[in-house]
Structures are given as structure tokens and as C-alpha cells.
């Protein structure tokens, strides 16, 4: 954002503050919780701070519920409130309590607060409202006048029974809780009286994050039951406090003259400088007010930043050994391409990535996300503070002042592309906040999506969690039943240190769930497949589908096995190519033989499909396990698989070199499948003979199964965990062998 634009944003805020004082009729005092029973004792006092009489006929007083639906009173036609006058509406017993007869007798049943926000609203049904919210939190999202829902800056504290909420100065309305005070003795039909010090609110430096040597305007709203005599800002650039007079004359960047918004300009200082300041106001009775109230011991603060000093996103994503960013709470400027703005809510998180096609990425979390003039695809410059939430690194507002939001400047308009991920198991910290897509995945659940819910997807061989955010258009839509391409942002939610787990894929909308035009599916016959030590074979079906309107050339169709040590074996020496007509699904039953000398452990058997001019792979697969070998730990020439010659033959099979698979180190592999129901295969590797303990724990730390407890020889080993009788949920798989320990998370989904 240019210096001019940042300054104009500050000036706009001043103009808005000035405009809020012009509302004619406001709620001036509210008595919602009498000391005894509430019947016919509650009242609402209105005040006309305008210069003309107002006909209140047809206006409504609304209160409580989830949308001011708990109660409604419509003011009778011909009800007039004169300028500078009060108008009291209350129960028949108000007179006996306060010796004041209401202008209109009306029974109210205002809610009493106590555990969450309640509110009373004056509504002219033509777009004007004046609201008095009280208590916190605002669980029901009651709207306020400055924000919807009303935020903590607008909500008053819940007062004691027998007290009332009254405006500090009659009729003065800034839509902040500081307009109000707690009266132990309510004063219907009367001003609170003189003797109240000035009230200082809405103090703000503009800009709050100035550039090198940029002047800063200090604005604050000051009002009093009498008159403000003097107002000054006392600021300290590091050399001691300097007093500067504030004005309400319309000539000092303070809005309109006489609007109670005071202002003046402080000279600029070099980048890296910090300025502390406070406001001191004196009224015509000599009463003094300070803001903040503990000044000068407590002050406001702003810091100069050099916007030309840009930090790479990669540097901000550098973590310590626990997964916490090394730049936490520091202020930085980054440049990136927008991949999400407010798709996940008014505060985001939004996401930026280094280039239009990928690179390191970072999240941005703040309410400014929904008001910033940025769009997906644009290149932007963002300046803010580095935050951290459950493993996710974010750019956030000032941790010491939540009013200081990240500054966003649009540099250019472009477009962004998601990055293809070939293996779901590889998604992790390096992909955080990155826009990615994966082909040929299926959801493990059917039905309709629920908001703020995680769903497992699988490519047949790999699995991952997809998070459906409540703020997207996905909740309530049907869960796809066929293989699709899923696109979205990689997020993280890991509530415990070290922050190395909890990665999730967040689609931004239904448009990120892309039906597959062409897909390959593989289904084992009679799963789960366990090949004995003597070798054997299994049958499976493989289907190719073209859902498009024209023929599709499949340039390469390959069968591949991933061995327990992570290496790959191509079942077909040369891939098959073929043309698939429009609207056709071809299904074949095939067989695969596994030699006795194949290493023991967990395998992934996959079909890999590619297309001309597209460097991405579409795949599907399933797992199988091989029992302990009879001899050796190498030889792959004995593998035999039926060719896909029903479609097209591509030549004789060439010999494949042997691959040594003896483990180089102890390791615990991720169970497969995961999620599972009710059984899953667990593979582990030993570089040397050792005593092994392999146990399963629930999240409370209780042992639910001991899979291995004894001496095991070097090599690859595999056992099966059966979750029958256990509830759905997360389980921890923990291995100990000598000094080696490892843990994997398993998800049982029934």
C-alpha cells in the first residue's frame, strides 16, 4: 500500500467516527435487571440529540434471543420526542421505584445477561438502529451497530441487579462500550449530572504501522458532560515525552470541527524506531482523564517499519526443533500470490505462495482479510506480525494491540495454479499453506458433508485428511462417490509440541472437488491380501473410465509395486498406451504373482496413468503384505504379472536388475491402510537383531494391544492389528527397539 493510501485509510476512519455522532435518537439509559422481581420495573430511556422533533411512531424496541427475537415492542403512532429531550418507556412500577412516571407505560422482559451477550435495540425499520449490548461472549451472534456480530469493544459488562447502564454524556454515541457507565442509582428522565471527567476513546495512530520517516496522525474521540478545555498527546520517540496539542477544529486531520474527534500530526522517525504515547484531557471543571488510564506508566505504541525490506516466505517458514517459527512475533513484509482470501471465514486464514505456481507458502489470519481489496491470483505485499496457531505459521495483527492489522498492498493481477502432489503420504510441513491438487482420490465416507469436519480420502495406496470448513459452500453437499481430483490448501492443526502432525487439505469451495474425466480404479479380489513366505498370487480388477465427450489418448499405463523399503518395481517392463473412446468404461480381471524371494512387509500395488502434454500422473492402487522370505532379500526377476494386452501390447518384458532391500536402520512404517476398519497391516524394519516392543495405545495412554514383545532378527517384519471391539478414533502405534523409539498415528473408522 502506498503512503498516500495508508494515510487515506486513517483519514477515512476519522470521518466514520465523526459520522456516528449524528444519529438523532438513541438509547440513553437502560434498566434491565431490577434488584427484586423484574415485573413492570424495567425501563428504557431514549434521548433526542438532534435539532428537530422526531415521530417515533412505528419504531420498535427489540431485545434478546438469537436475532432480537426474544421480545418486540412497537411504539404507538404519534409518539413525539422533542430535540434535547428524554422519553421514558417502562413498567407500571417504575414510578414507585424512582418517582418518575414513564411517558409510555409498557411491560418489558429484557434478558439479564449472566453468561453471554444480551442486547436491546432501537430500530426505525428504515435502516437505522441503536443498540445496547451487554455481557460477553456473544455466543448467539447478536448484531451491534459497529460490527456484526457485536464484538467485545461494543459489549458492556453485565452490571449488578438494581443498577442501570447510562450514557456518560447524554446522546453521545460512538458505538463503543466506553459510551456507557454503570449507575448504582438509575436516573430516568434526567442527565447523570456534572462532575464526570472527560471520556477518551477510539485513540489511534494513522498509520499504525508507518513507513520510514512517515508522519503519523494521532486521532482520538473526547467528550464530556460539560466541555473539553485542553487535549494533548504526550509522545516519546525514545528521548523523553513531548507534549503536542490536539485540536477539534477541522484543520488538523481531525475530521469536522466540533465532532469530538481530536487530532494532530507527529513528525516521522527512522525505520525501527518505536514511539509510545498517551492522551491527557482536561474539562472546564478541571477534571483530568488519561488514556490509557495507567498513563504515563502504561502507554499506546507504534513502530516504524521499512516496507522496502522484503523477507522471503521461505525464511518465515523456518522452524526450530519443535516446529515453532524462529521469527515468532517479529514484524515482516512478504510478497506472494493470493490463493485464498475469505473463503474460510471473515478472518481467514488467507494464504499466499511464493510464485504463481507454488513455492513456500504462508497463511494470513485477521479480520482485515474480508475487507482488503485483494483477490485470488493477485500478487500482493503483506506486512504484519508472525503468529503461530496449533502448528500453522501465520501473519497476524500486532500481538500487543489487536487494532493494528496486517497491511495489504496489491501489486499486480495474475492467476495462480495449484501444485500437483503425486503421493499423499509425502504431504507435510514443506507443503503448509500451499495450494495443491491430487488426482484419483476417493472419500472413505458417503452421505453429505458436514461443516468443520475431517474426512479421510485415499488413492488406494495412500491416505490423507480433508477438512470441510463451515464457511465454504461445501457443507450440505453430497460427498463424491467416484474418484475425483481434490484441490485445496494444506493447513495444520496440531495442539501439542512438537508440531509435526495434523496436516489437512482444505478445499475452498465445491469447485475444488473436480470430477475426473478419465480415471483408473483398482480393486483387489478377496482382500486383505497376504502372500505366504513361499510366494503366491492375487487377483484384482482394473478399470479405465472416460467420462468425457471425446476419445482420450492414454500415453502411458504402468503397473508398479512399492516395496517395503520404499523402492519401486515396474511390473511392466514397458508401459502400455491406448485410446479410450468417449463414455466408455473398460474393466479387466488380472492376476499378479509374487515370488518367494520377495522381501517380507507391506506393499502398495498401483496403476499409473499419464496423458500427452501433461506431466502429472493419475493413479489408483491397494495394499498387500508378504510374509517372511525363505531365502535372501533380493531378486525381483521372478515377479510375474499379466500384461494389459487386452488393450494393447507394447513388446517383450526386459530383465530388471536386482535391488538390495536390507534395512539400513530401524524404522516403523505407517500402518496401511490408514484409516482402517477393523484390521490394518503394521510393518517395521530392523537393521540388526534386537528386542522389539510394539504396542498400541489409546489417546488416554492406555495399552489396548501388544503386537510384538520379544527378540526379532534383522529384516522387514509385518504384523496385523485388529481393532474389532474398539471404538472409532485415534490410536498411537509405538515401537521400541534398543535405543530406537518411534510413534505413528492410526485412525480406526467404523
The DSSP annotation for 26-84 comes to EEEEEE---SS--TTT-EEEEEE-SSS-EE-TT-EEEE-TTTT-SEEEEPPTT-EE-TT
Q: Tell whether domain 15-183 is in CATH 2.60.40.1260.
A: yes
268: which DSSP letter?
A: P
Amino acid 6: pLDDT: 33
Whether 518-641 and 419-515 are alike in CATH topology: the answer is: no
3-class SS at 143?
Answer: coil
Distance CA 303, CA 271 (A): 8
Pick among 3.20.20.140, 2.40.40.20, 2.40.50.140, 3.30.70.20: CATH of 313-412: 2.40.50.140
Instruction: Read off the pLDDT of residues 414-446 as tens digits, 9 standing for 90 and up.
Output: 899 999 887 777 788 999 999 999 988 889 889
Q: What is the CA radius of gyration of the chain?
A: 34
Q: What is the pLDDT of residues 77-94, one digit of tens each?
A: 999 999 888 999 999 999
Burial-class residue 347 by CB neighbours within 10 Å (0-12, 13-18, 19+): middle
Q: Are strands 407-412 and 740-748 parallel, antiparallel or unpaired?
A: unpaired
* Local structure of 288: helix, strand or coil: strand
With b meaning 16 or more CB within 10 Å and e meaning fewer, what string describes 196-211?
bbbbbbbbbbbbbbbb
Class of domain 667-748: mainly beta
Return the CATH class of domain 197-303. Answer: mainly beta
In a 10 Å sphere around its CB, with 0-12 CB exposed, 13-18 middle and 19+ buried, how is residue 34 labelled? buried
Q: What residues does each domain of the chain span?
A: 15-183, 197-303, 313-412, 419-515, 518-641, 667-748
Contacts of 99 (CB under 8 A, 6+ apart): none
Give the class (CATH, top level) of 518-641.
mainly beta
Query: What pLDDT, on a 0 to 100 scale, did the predictor assign at position 198?
Result: 86
The reported pLDDT for the residue numbered 10 is 37
Nearest Cα neighbor of 722 from 706, 702, 710 is 706
Flag residues of the chain having pLDDT under 70. Answer: 1-23, 38, 190-195, 460-461, 572-575, 613-617, 629-662
From 286, 264, 163, select the one nearest 206 (Cα to Cα): 264
Residue 297: what are its φ and ψ, rounded to 5°?
-65, -35
Whole-number pLDDT of residue 603? 87
**Res 614: pLDDT:** 61
CATH of 419-515, one of 3.30.750.24, 3.40.50.300, 2.40.50.140, 3.65.10.10: 2.40.50.140
Amino acid at each position: 500500500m502506498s503512503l498516500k493510501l495508508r494515510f487515506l485509510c486513517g483519514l477515512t476512519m476519522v470521518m466514520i467516527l465523526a459520522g456516528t455522532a449524528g444519529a438523532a435518537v438513541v438509547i440513553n439509559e437502560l434498566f434491565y435487571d431490577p434488584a427484586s422481581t423484574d415485573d413492570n420495573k424495567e425501563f428504557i430511556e431514549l434521548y433526542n440529540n438532534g435539532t428537530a422533533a422526531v415521530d417515533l411512531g412505528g419504531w420498535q424496541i427489540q431485545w434478546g434471543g438469537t436475532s432480537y427475537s426474544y421480545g418486540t415492542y412497537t411504539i404507538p403512532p404519534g409518539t413525539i420526542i422533542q430535540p434535547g429531550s428524554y422519553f421514558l418507556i417502562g413498567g407500571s412500577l417504575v414510578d414507585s421505584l424512582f418517582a418518575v412516571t414513564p411517558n409510555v407505560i409498557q411491560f418489558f422482559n429484557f434478558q439479564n445477561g449472566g453468561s453471554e451477550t444480551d442486547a436491546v435495540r432501537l430500530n426505525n425499520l428504515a435502516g437505522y438502529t441503536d443498540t445496547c449490548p451487554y455481557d460477553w461472549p456473544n455466543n448467539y451472534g447478536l448484531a451491534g451497530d459497529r460490527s456484526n456480530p457485536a464484538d467485545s469493544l461494543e459489549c458492556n459488562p453485565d452490571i449488578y441487579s438494581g443498577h442501570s447502564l447510562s450514557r456518560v454524556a447524554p446522546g453521545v454515541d460512538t458505538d463503543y462500550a466506553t459510551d456507557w457507565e454503570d449507575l448504582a442509582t438509575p436516573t430516568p428522565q434526567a442527565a447523570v449530572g456534572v462532575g464526570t471527567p472527560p471520556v477518551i476513546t477510539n485513540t489511534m495512530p494513522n498509520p499504525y504501522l508507518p513507513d520510514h520517516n512517515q508522519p503519523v496522525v494521532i486521532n482520538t474521540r473526547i467528550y464530556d458532560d460539560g466541555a473539553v478545555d485542553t487535549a494533548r498527546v504526550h509522545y516519546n520517540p525514545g528521548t523523553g515525552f513531548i507534549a503536542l496539542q490536539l485540536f477539534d477544529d477541522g484543520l488538523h486531520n481531525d475530521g469536522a470541527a466540533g465532532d469530538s474527534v481530536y487530532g494532530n500530526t507527529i513528525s516521522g522517525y527512522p525505520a525501527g524506531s518505536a514511539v509510545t504515547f498517551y492522551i491527557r484531557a482536561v474539562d472546564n471543571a478541571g477534571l483530568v482523564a488519561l488514556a490509557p488510564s495507567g498513563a504515563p506508566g502504561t502507554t499506546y505504541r507504534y513502530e516504524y517499519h521499512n516496507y522496502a525490506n522484503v523477507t522471503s516466505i521461505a525464511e518465515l517458514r523456518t522452524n526450530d526443533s519443535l516446529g515453532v517459527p524462529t521469527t515468532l512475533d517479529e514484524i515482516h513484509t512478504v510478497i506472494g500470490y493470493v490463493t485464498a482470501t475469505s473463503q474460510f471465514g471473515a478472518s481467514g486464514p488467507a494464504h499466499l505462495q511464493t510464485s504463481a505456481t507454488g513455492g513456500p507458502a504462508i497463511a494470513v489470519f485477521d479480520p482485515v482479510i474480508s475487507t482488503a481489496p485483494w483477490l485470488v491470483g493477485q500478487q500482493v505485499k503483506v506486512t504484519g506480525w508472525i503468529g503461530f496457531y496449533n502448528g500453522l505459521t501465520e501473519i497476524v495483527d500486532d500481538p500487543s494491540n489487536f487494532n493494528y492489522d496486517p497491511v495489504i498492498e496489491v501489486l499486480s493481477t495474475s492467476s495462480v495454479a495449484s501444485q500437483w502432489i503425486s503421493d499423499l503420504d509425502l504431504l507435510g510441513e514443506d507443503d503448509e499453506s500451499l495450494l495443491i491438487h491430487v488426482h484419483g482420490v476417493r472419500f472413505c465416507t458417503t452421505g453429505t458433508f458436514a461443516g468443520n469436519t475431517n474426512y479421510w480420502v485415499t488413492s488406494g495406496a495412500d491416505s490423507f485428511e480433508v477438512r470441510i470448513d463451515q464457511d465454504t459452500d461445501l457443507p450440505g453437499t453430497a460427498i463424491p462417490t467416484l474418484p475425483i481430483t481434490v484441490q485445496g490448501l494444506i493447513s495444520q492443526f496440531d495442539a501439542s509440541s512438537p508440531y509435526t502432525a495434523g496436516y489437512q487439505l482444505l478445499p475452498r469451495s465445491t469447485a475444488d472437488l473436480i470430477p475426473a474425466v478419465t480415471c483408473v480404479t483398482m480393486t483387489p479380489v478377496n482382500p486383505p491380501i497376504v502372500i505366504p513366505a513361499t510366494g503366491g498370487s492375487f487377483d484384482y480388477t482394473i478399470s479405465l473410465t472416460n467420462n468425457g465427450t471425446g476419445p482420450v489418448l492414454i500415453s502411458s499405463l504402468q503397473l508398479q509395486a512399492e516395496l517395503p523399503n520404499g523402492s519401486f518395481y515396474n511390473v511392466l517392463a514397458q508401459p502400455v498406451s491406448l485410446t479410450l473412446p468417449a463414455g466408455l468404461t473398460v474393466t479387466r480381471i488380472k492376476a499378479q504373482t509374487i515370488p518367494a524371494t520377495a522381501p517380507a512387509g507391506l506393499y502398495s500395488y498401483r496403476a499409473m496413468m499419464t496423458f500427452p502434454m501433461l506431466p502429472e500422473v493419475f493413479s489408483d492402487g491397494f495394499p498387500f503384505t508378504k510374509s517372511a522370505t525363505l531365502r535372501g532379500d533380493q531378486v525381483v526377476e521372478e515377479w510375474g504379472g499379466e500384461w494389459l494386452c487386452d488393450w494393447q501390447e507394447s513388446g517383450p518384458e526386459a530383465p530388471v536388475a536386482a535391488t538390495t532391500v536390507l534395512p539400513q536402520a530401524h524404522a516403523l512404517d505407517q500402518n496401511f491402510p490408514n484409516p482402517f476398519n477393523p484390521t490394518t497391516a503394521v510393518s517395521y524394519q530392523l537393521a540388526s537383531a534386537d528386542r522389539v516392543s510394539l504396542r498400541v495405545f489409546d489417546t488416554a495412554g492406555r495399552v489396548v494391544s501388544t503386537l510384538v514383545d520379544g527378540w526379532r532378527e534383522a529384516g522387514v517384519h509385518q504384523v496385523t492389528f485388529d481393532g474389532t471391539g474398539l471404538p472409532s478414533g485415534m490410536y498411537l502405534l509405538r515401537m521400541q527397539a534398543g535405543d530406537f523409539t518411534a510413534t505413528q498415528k492410526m485412525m480406526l473408522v467404523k
